[in-house]
């Protein structure tokens, strides 16, 4: 039996696009093994689908010959392509696993999670960052539904690029100006978290605005309760922006004296047809019970902030259609999810996602479903909603600001 070629890595960030008018993909990774984005175009894109961990060199050779309608491709040519892919850290080979383990081991020894997007997505000096965040918060008038801002216990905010989501970020964080939390449970999308439902982090978090202490006791309790539902390491936090983008707003509003419980949520979409809510999964339920218990002082001491976006549509996100053809249905889907959120109906939220089988790539689905499971009695208020369109790729992303007022 011939040796099977390792499959393409499942933790790659593969973004469809165009290069010089040709269909292409841009490949990045959160581990940093791919230091410069890899751009693949033309016939080599078809090659990707054959690297599935089930085929040998000869199998791939046959597939390529068939694809090229009988044109001979030598085994040597195929092997050179495989070596090229492996050298670029695109395959789940021994070389990749060895480097991955090294990176995880080195990161595990650190006490602090440093800001990964400072100087890239926002200013890297405290003075400039303060001015930048003020400009965002002051860009919109402080108008919102009738709610008591002193009773805000939970918030849903975007994690999209700041300039694209400026208006919604402003709407979200304006309502927290009268809050004074001692602890913040920070939930976010784990974009690179593929093997578990959750990743928690015991490290303190540092940004240009200072260092936030993580509540290590709470994190350890969550890790113990969640068992195999929790990642054995915290590497998913290293370059994740969904929490970091919320943290700088929170520091801007409250300083750095509050404690943090940082949680990334992986994908629950494979469970859509098997269960009706996250807590139907035993170890997930154990995790959420501990989290819910920590909200005994909801609003007065502890608030929950979720950094999520909603639908991702168009070719950039794997659709054959342009966003303009999908936006009517995706917006309708978003609004039904938001209705279920505001009504705190986790089963309706889950059922709506099951209805479309996550066709619209709602990256905050898992995070929001978990939020609904742990929220104490509260009223949900939609503050604002927006769809950002990326014209070059004919794609779009939606996001919202939602506040929950304690009853």
pLDDT tens readout for residues 252-308: 999 999 999 999 999 999 999 999 999 999 999 999 999 998 887 665 689 999 999
Chosen domain end from 86, 104, 122: 104
Judgement on whether residues 88 and 119 belong to the same structural domain of the protein: no
Which of 104, 136, 164 is the C-terminal boundary of a domain?
A: 104
Q: Are residues 334 and 398 in the same domain?
A: yes
Contacts of 212 (CB under 8 A, 6+ apart): 204, 205, 206, 247, 251, 256, 258, 259, 260
> Is residue 5 in some structural domain?
no
Query: What are 15-51's pLDDT values in tens digits?
Result: 877 666 677 888 988 898 998 888 888 777 878 888 9
Instruction: Note whether 92 and 138 are same-domain residues.
Output: no
Q: Is residue 3 part of a domain?
A: no
Q: What is the rounded distance in angstroms from the CA atom of residue 377 to the CA atom of residue 332?
A: 26
Has residue 6 been placed in a domain?
Answer: no
Nearest to 315 by CA among 361, 275, 351: 361
Residues 77 and 195 occupy one common structural domain: no
| Domain end among 42, 73, 104 | 104
Per-residue buried b or exposed e for 102-124, using 16+ beta carbons within 10 Å of the residue's own CB = eeeeebeeeeebebbbbeebbbe
In a domain, 128, yes or no: yes
Task: Name every residue whose Cβ is closer than 8 Å to that of residue 322 and which is 6 or more positions away in sequence.
Answer: 314, 315, 394, 395
**Residues 36 and 134 both lie in one domain:** no
pLDDT at 26 (0 to 100): 87
In a domain? residue 1: no
Residue 274 within any structural domain of the chain: yes
Whether residue 348 lies inside any domain: the answer is: yes
∠ CA 253-177-303, rounded to 5°? 80
Contact yes or no for 162/237 (Cβ under 8 A): no
Please work out, in degrees rounded to the nearest 5, the angle formed at the alpha carbon of residue 241 by the alpha carbons of 90 and 224: 85
> Residue 158 contacts by C-beta under 8 Å, 6 or more apart in sequence?
165, 168, 169, 172, 245, 307, 308, 309, 399, 400, 401
Statement to judge: residues 119 and 93 lie in one domain: no
Q: Do residues 211 and 153 share a domain?
A: yes
Q: Quick one: 162 and 179 in the same domain?
A: yes
Name the domain count of the chain: 2
- Specify if 175 maps to a domain: yes
Give the integer Cα–Cα distance in Å for 149 and 390: 34
Q: Distance of CA 378 to CAs 185, 375, 403, Å?
A: 17, 7, 10
Distance separating alpha carbons of residues 245 and 69, to the nearest angstrom:
50
CATH number of the domain within which 212 lies = 3.40.830.10
pLDDT of residue 145: 62
Confidence of residue 63 (pLDDT cuts 50, 70, 90): confident
Residues 61 and 174 both lie in one domain: no
* Token reading at 335: 């609004």
The residue segments making up the domain with residue 158 are 113-406
Measure the CA–CA gap between 156 and 396, rounded to whole angstroms. 19
Residues 238 and 290 in one domain: yes
Q: Is the pLDDT of residue 3 over 90?
A: no
Verify that 317 and 171 share a domain, yes or no: yes
What are the tens digits of pLDDT across the range 302-345? 999 999 999 999 988 989 899 999 999 999 999 999 999 999 99
- Residue 45 CA to residue 27 CA, distance in Å, equals 12
Q: Are residues 324 and 345 in the same domain?
A: yes
């Amino acid at each position: 039996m011939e040796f099977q070629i390792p499959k393409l890595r499942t933790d790659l960030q593969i973004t469809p696009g165009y290069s010089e008018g040709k269909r292409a993909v841009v490949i990045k990774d959160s581990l940093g093994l791919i230091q410069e984005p890899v751009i693949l175009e033309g016939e080599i894109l078809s090659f990707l689908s054959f690297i599935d961990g089930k085929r040998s060199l000869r199998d791939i050779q046959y597939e390529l010959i068939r694809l090229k309608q009988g044109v001979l491709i030598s085994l040597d040519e195929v092997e050179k392509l495989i070596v090229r892919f492996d050298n670029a850290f695109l395959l789940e080979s021994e070389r990749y696993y060895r480097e991955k383990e090294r990176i995880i081991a080195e990161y595990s020894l650190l006490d602090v999670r440093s800001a990964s997007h400072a100087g890239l997505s926002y200013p890297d000096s405290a003075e400039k960052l303060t001015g930048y965040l003020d400009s965002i918060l002051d860009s919109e008038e402080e108008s919102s539904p009738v709610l008591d801002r002193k009773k805000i216990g939970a918030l849903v905010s975007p994690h999209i690029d700041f300039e694209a989501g400026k208006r919604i970020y402003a709407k979200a964080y304006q309502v927290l100006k009268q809050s004074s939390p001692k602890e913040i449970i920070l939930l976010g999308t784990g974009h690179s978290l593929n093997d578990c439902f959750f990743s928690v982090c015991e490290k303190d978090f540092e940004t240009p605005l200072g260092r936030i202490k993580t509540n290590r006791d709470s994190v350890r309790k969550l890790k113990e309760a969640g068992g195999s539902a929790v990642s054995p390491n915290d590497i998913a936090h290293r370059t994740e922006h969904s929490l970091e983008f919320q943290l700088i707003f929170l520091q801007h509003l409250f300083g750095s004296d509050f404690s943090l419980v940082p949680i990334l949520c992986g994908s629950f979409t494979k469970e859509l047809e098997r269960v009706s809510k996250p807590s139907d999964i035993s170890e997930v339920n154990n995790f959420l019970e501990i989290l819910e218990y920590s909200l005994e002082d909801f609003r007065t001491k502890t608030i929950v902030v979720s950094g999520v976006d909603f639908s991702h549509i168009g070719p950039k996100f794997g659709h054959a259609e342009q966003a303009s053809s999908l936006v009517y249905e995706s917006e309708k889907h978003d609004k039904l999810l938001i209705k279920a959120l505001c009504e705190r109906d986790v089963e309706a939220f889950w059922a709506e996602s099951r209805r479309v089988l996550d066709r619209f790539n709602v990256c905050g689905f898992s995070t929001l479903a978990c939020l609904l499971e742990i929220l104490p009695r509260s009223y949900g208020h939609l503050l604002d909603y927006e769809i950002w369109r990326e014209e070059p790729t004919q794609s779009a992303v939606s996001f919202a600001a939602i506040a929950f007022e304690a009853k």
